């Protein structure tokens, strides 16, 4: 894509009310637009990152046997009353609104109630289970504060998978598989070194749930990491004497060995048991002909939060730094003598050749000074930068710069 055709422009300053590093850089680089506090729109470069992340997650969810759906945002009050979650004193971050008939509705904060209700139409017997259903869908959460940029939006895209199993054993086996899929995801987006499975409080149906926490200064959470085991415990558990003792024993570490760190919860998985299937009547007939409630689990990843965390962890003083797998473009080709027809024709051939070998390329063909182009390129953060100038033509050597390390190398076209 030609940068001269991209409608977004970079800018020196983010809006004054923006205090988070991730949103500040993403706004300056033209990836997102701030509509209001905690409400962001995604521009072409930002949307490309979102789509890359979605593709990785979709592949991992499909590999788990997940089937993709897309549930409505507007919620049926009756369902949430049955589970006791409609009440504002129970759930305090609803956006509620009304139909013309004056009956109440609200915007989905999550989708356990509607998916459980929906499954009633499709689950009859043990033969219909297990089932794993997921979506990428907007959640709306009326946060009191939204000062973490896209890491805590009032409206954000979430991948949420729900599992429907016949027994606790069947659920547990899937839950373990989902941990591996989650670790794959965080590895593929470039966060594996800093991301820890973290013991968190469970609920009636399980002692623990599990968070995936990425160590990051901008994190709102505190975790306690066992470097030896590669596992962490969250603050909530460690602050409770009994829970802490149990968790430390289970993991096999001492409290003293744990290292405190600020972290961002980039994902979580939760055993729901029959918390939703019982009140909403999602049952199946087992082999003996008895009706039993379905055993459920939920598995979430906030897509913008993950994107924001990547920004926070990778960016440097010059701007964004994208890992290979989620970058908006693979290569940034910068033409320095854009008025020289020989240079342009050389660049065109090179870009075609890069694209033929499967690279997506952003080509800076704008009539700007080299310094401005380099600064924009650093800000946008595409992993590989190639500079094409008269010098390139003369030497036959292409200058390639790695955005993350700053390393410059010279290559022939065949080596790219």
Which residues make up the interface to a second copy (CB under 8 A)?
Answer: 5-9, 11, 30, 33, 35-36, 39-44, 47, 50, 65, 67-76, 95-100, 105, 107, 114, 118-119, 121-124, 128, 131, 133, 138, 140, 142-144, 154-155
> Under a CB-based contact definition with an 8 Å cutoff, are residues 21 and 137 in contact?
no
CB of 62 to a second copy, least distance (A): 10
CB of 64 to a second copy, least distance (A): 12
- Is the CB of 132 or the CB of 212 nearer to a second copy? 132
- Is the CB of 9 or the CB of 356 nearer to a second copy? 9
> Under a CB-based contact definition with an 8 Å cutoff, are residues 155 and 138 in contact?
yes
CB of 208 to a second copy, least distance (A): 28
CB of 124 to a second copy, least distance (A): 8
- Is the CB of 69 or the CB of 251 nearer to a second copy? 69
- Is the CB of 70 or the CB of 412 nearer to a second copy? 70
Helix or strand holding residue 23 (H, E): helix 21-28
Residues 296, 289: Cα–Cα separation, whole Å: 20
CB of 113 to a second copy, least distance (A): 10
Q: What is the DSSP letter of 2?
A: B
> Under a CB-based contact definition with an 8 Å cutoff, are residues 238 and 244 in contact?
yes
| Start-end of H helices in 270-368 | 277-280, 303-314, 341-356
Place of tokens 């918390």: 275
| Start-end of H helices in 301-386 | 303-314, 341-356, 370-380
Three-class SS state of 4: helix
CB of 10 to a second copy, least distance (A): 10
- Is the CB of 75 or the CB of 268 nearer to a second copy? 75
Residues 131, 291: Cα–Cα separation, whole Å: 17
CB of 56 to a second copy, least distance (A): 18
Residues 365, 1: Cα–Cα separation, whole Å: 10
CB of 251 to a second copy, least distance (A): 36
CB of 39 to a second copy, least distance (A): 5
Characterize the bridge pairing of strands 331-335 and 295-302. Answer: unpaired
- Is the CB of 143 or the CB of 172 nearer to a second copy? 143
**Chain-centre distance for alpha carbon 190:** 12
- Is the CB of 68 or the CB of 355 nearer to a second copy? 68
Q: What is the DSSP letter of 316?
A: B
| Residue 217 CB burial class (10 angstroms; 0-12, 13-18, ≥19) | exposed
Residues 29, 45: Cα–Cα separation, whole Å: 9
Place of tokens 């033969």: 127
CB of 50 to a second copy, least distance (A): 7
- Is the CB of 42 or the CB of 196 nearer to a second copy? 42
Give DSSP secondary structure letters for 106-144: EB-S--HHHHHHHHTTT--BGGG--EEEEEEEEEE---S
- Is the CB of 68 or the CB of 193 nearer to a second copy? 68
- Is the CB of 156 or the CB of 196 nearer to a second copy? 156
């Amino acid at each position: 894509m030609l940068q001269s055709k991209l409608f977004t422009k970079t800018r020196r300053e983010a809006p004054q009310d923006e205090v988070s590093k991730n949103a500040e850089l993403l706004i300056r680089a033209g990836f997102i637009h701030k509509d209001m506090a905690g409400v962001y729109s995604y521009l072409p470069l930002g949307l490309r990152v979102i789509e890359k992340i979605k593709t990785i997650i979709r592949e991992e969810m499909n590999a788990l046997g997940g089937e993709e759906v897309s549930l409505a945002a507007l919620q049926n009050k009756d369902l949430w009353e049955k589970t006791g979650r409609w009440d504002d004193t129970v759930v305090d971050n609803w956006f509620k609104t009304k139909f013309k008939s004056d009956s109440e509705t609200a915007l989905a904060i999550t989708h356990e109630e509607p998916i459980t209700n929906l499954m009633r139409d499709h689950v009859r017997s043990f033969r219909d289970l297990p089932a794993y259903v997921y979506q990428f869908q907007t959640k709306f959460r009326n946060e009191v504060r939204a000062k973490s940029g896209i890491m805590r939006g009032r409206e954000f895209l979430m991948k949420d998978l729900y599992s429907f199993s016949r027994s606790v054993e069947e659920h547990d086996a899937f839950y373990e598989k989902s941990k591996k899929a989650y670790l794959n995801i965080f590895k593929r987006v470039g966060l594996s070194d800093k991301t820890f499975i973290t013991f968190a409080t469970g609920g009636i149906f399980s002692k623990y749930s599990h968070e995936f926490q990425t160590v990051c200064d901008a994190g709102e959470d505190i975790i306690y990491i066992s470097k030896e085991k590669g596992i962490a415990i969250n603050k909530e558990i460690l602050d409770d004497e009994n829970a802490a003792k149990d968790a430390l024993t289970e993991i096999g570490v001492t409290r003293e060995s744990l290292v405190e760190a600020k972290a961002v919860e980039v994902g979580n998985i939760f055993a729901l048991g029959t918390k939703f299937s019982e009140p909403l009547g999602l049952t199946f007939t087992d082999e003996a002909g008895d009706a039993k409630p379905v055993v459920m689990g939920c598995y979430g990843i906030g897509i913008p939060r993950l994107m924001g965390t990547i920004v926070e962890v990778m960016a440097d003083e010059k701007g964004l730094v994208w890992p290979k797998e989620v970058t908006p473009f693979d290569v940034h080709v910068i033409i320095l003598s854009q008025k020289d027809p020989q240079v342009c024709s050389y660049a065109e051939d090179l870009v075609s050749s890069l694209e033929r070998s499967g690279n997506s390329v952003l080509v800076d063909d704008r009539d700007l000074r080299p310094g401005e182009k380099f600064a924009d390129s650093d800000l946008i953060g595409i992993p590989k930068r190639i500079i094409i100038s008269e010098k390139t033509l003369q030497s036959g050597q292409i200058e390639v710069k790695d955005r993350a390390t700053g390393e410059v190398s010279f290559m022939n076209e065949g080596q790219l």
